[in-house]
Amino acid sequence: MTRREKVMATTLIVVMSVMGGGMLFHLFVYQPISEAREQLKDEREKNQTAQNNLADAEAQITNILHRNPRLSQWQKISLPPRNPEAKTAGVTLEEQRKSHETRLQNLYDEYLTTLLTKNGFPSESIVITPRAVDRRAVPKLRGDEPVYSKLAFGVEAHGDLRAVVDSLRAFHKANLLHSIRNLTVSLAQPRGRVAPQAGAIDLSMQIEALMVNGAEERKDLLPEKISYPLHVLPRDPERVYDAMLARNIFTGGTSGSPYGDEDPKSAKAKENKKDVLSFVKLTMLCRDTDKRGWYATLYDQGKGGDEILLSRLWNELKISDHSQNTLLDAKVVLIDEKQLIFKVDGKYYRMQCGDFVYDALYDKDKGTEKPLRKEELKELGIQP
């Protein structure tokens, strides 16, 4: 072999060695590292997606509990998924479950009947019918076990408006995980040849109660005790739902005192100022034909009746609630084509056509009073 051939052979061996080493490096080092990096990137993206989904779920749970804090006690207020005293040897779990659901249906039927009767519905007018439930729509836990089971009922009852209001309030305050899915309230219809009593109401409801897996096992329908009193929404202590009875929306008349058994002259019977003054509206500013001055009219949309007439002569603006408690005692100091200015406790306030009294007195967002400033009074020619 000549020298030239030796050099060429050596060069070829070196080139082949380099190329082979490169291929081996690519196959056994670079490619696995690249694949591992891609896999790590995919796993990080999946992990980030899972963390985002978890954060969204936690935010949703927080929002739900903020709106309805009672759901934090779901283990207690759920219908019991099992009766610990009903576990019998030789009886399959499926048979025990069916027996338990049948017993719960009977207990819940008795509970609804007692609730409606106690709150004013005649027992003979109450009809409660179990309804079928679509179990396919219920989410599943691991395996085929459902997250919860539903008991559904149709309820028909015949009574007055007070019975409806009291029954719905009692239903919502009960320590049970149940809800009204559909509600219809209407004036009672004739039954055969028998005409309904004046003001009678037909109530129709579709009710669902949840039995959640993992909830407290107990014998009775209602829990014995809970960790803390459940809040009933809305949690505004100033709301008086019995006020609906003062103006029956079905008959236009009254259905008893809007404050139940409380003395309407007592301080407790006084309506909230916002609930009354928010419905008293300035409807007109007008100058009379004899040019004796301007006058204004206000209308109480809550009470109805005649409009309130105001002028420089009839300048007393008094607004009261249904129990004749005075909520506003003001003096009119100016009426012109643009505005009505009135004075309350040494402060001056402005209303324009279409304004409500409460909005003239208070800032909507802050809830603070908004009297006219000294500069505004000076422009109007009013000396405080």
DSSP string, 304-346: -SSPEEEESSS-EEEEE-TT--EEEEEEEEEE-SS-EEEEETT
pLDDT of residue 252: 66
pLDDT tens series, the chain, 384 aa = 677 777 777 787 777 777 777 777 777 777 888 888 888 888 999 999 999 988 888 888 788 777 677 778 888 889 998 888 777 766 777 788 888 888 899 999 999 999 999 999 999 999 999 998 877 767 776 667 788 888 999 999 999 888 998 899 889 888 899 999 999 999 887 766 666 677 788 999 999 999 998 888 888 888 887 766 666 555 555 567 777 777 777 776 555 444 444 444 444 457 788 888 989 999 999 987 666 688 899 998 887 778 888 887 788 999 988 777 889 999 999 999 899 999 999 899 999 999 999 999 998 777 789 999 999 999 988 887
- Closest by CA position to 151, among listed 203, 117, 95, 112: 112
The closest alpha carbon to 334, from 295, 371, 364, 369, belongs to: 295
From residue 213, alpha-carbon distances to 26, 148, 176, 210 in Å are: 55, 6, 15, 10
Q: Are 307 and 299 in contact (CB under 8 A)?
A: yes
pLDDT at 264: 42
Q: What is the pTM of this model?
A: 0.54
* All residues at 6 or more sequence positions from 376 whose CB lies less than 8 Å from its CB, including other chains: 350
Q: Which residue has the tokens 């009119």?
A: 332
The CA–CA distances, whole Å, from 314 to 195, 317, 320, 325, 344 equal: 49, 8, 17, 21, 16
End-to-end CA distance of the chain: 125
Residue 276 CA to residue 268 CA, distance in Å, equals 15
Long-range contacts from 303-312, C-beta under 8 angstroms, 24+ separation: 307/283, 308/280, 310/335, 310/340, 311/335
Per-residue tokens: 179: 């809800």
Mapped onto helix, strand or coil, the DSSP state of residue 90 is: coil
Which two three-digit tokens encode residue 89?
């040897």
Non-local CB neighbours of 283 within 8 Å, separated by 6+ positions:
297, 298, 299, 307, 353
Domain ranges of the chain: 3-67, 84-226, 236-266, 273-380
Find tokens 């009977």 and name the residue: 106
Q: What is the pLDDT of residue 111?
A: 94
The arrangement of secondary structure in 84-226, i.e. its CATH architecture, is 2-Layer Sandwich (3.30)
In whole angstroms, give the CA distance from residue 325 to residue 273.
10
pLDDT of residue 304: 78
Give burial (CB, 10 Å; 0-12/13-18/19+) of 215. buried
